[in-house]
Amino acid sequence: MLLGVGPADDEKTALELVEKIVTLRGFGDPSGRMNLSAAEVGAEFLVVSQVTLYADLARGRRPSFVKAAPPRLADSLVQRFAQLIQERGFRVATGRFGAMMEVEIHNHGPVTFVLSSDGWD
């Protein structure tokens, strides 16, 4: 999963997002319906910090990242998020914050979910 962190995100945000992700019934059951959670399918997680999820491309030719959290906050929340998933019994791998990485992603199925904490108050 690609995880973007905003400046208003905190421990509560991480907890709520973890709860949503591990209980989301987004995996197919034997009849092909999305009825199963990550725990029910034995999911494993790859958590990679992705500042580009906060890229603002509205003006000019260069992306702006002013809507993203400062690196220190983002790094600590990404680590905490991964730890919270691990504490729920899942196997978790992580990327290296701020590093140039080649990440290969294989989506299983025709859907991709975008979860956002915007409006959770």
Dump pLDDT digits (tens) for 73-84.
999 999 999 999
Q: Classify the phi-psi angles of 98: left when phi > 0, otherwise alpha if psi is within -120 to 50, otherwise beta.
A: left
User: Would you state the pLDDT for residue 70?
Assistant: 92
Rounded percentage of the chain residues whose pLDDT exceeds 90: 61
2-94 has which CATH code?
3.50.80.10
Q: How far apart, in Å, do the first and last CA atoms of the chain sit?
A: 23
Question: Which residues in the chain land under pLDDT 70?
Answer: 108-109, 119-121
Burial level of 76, CB count in 10 A (0-12/13-18/19+)? middle
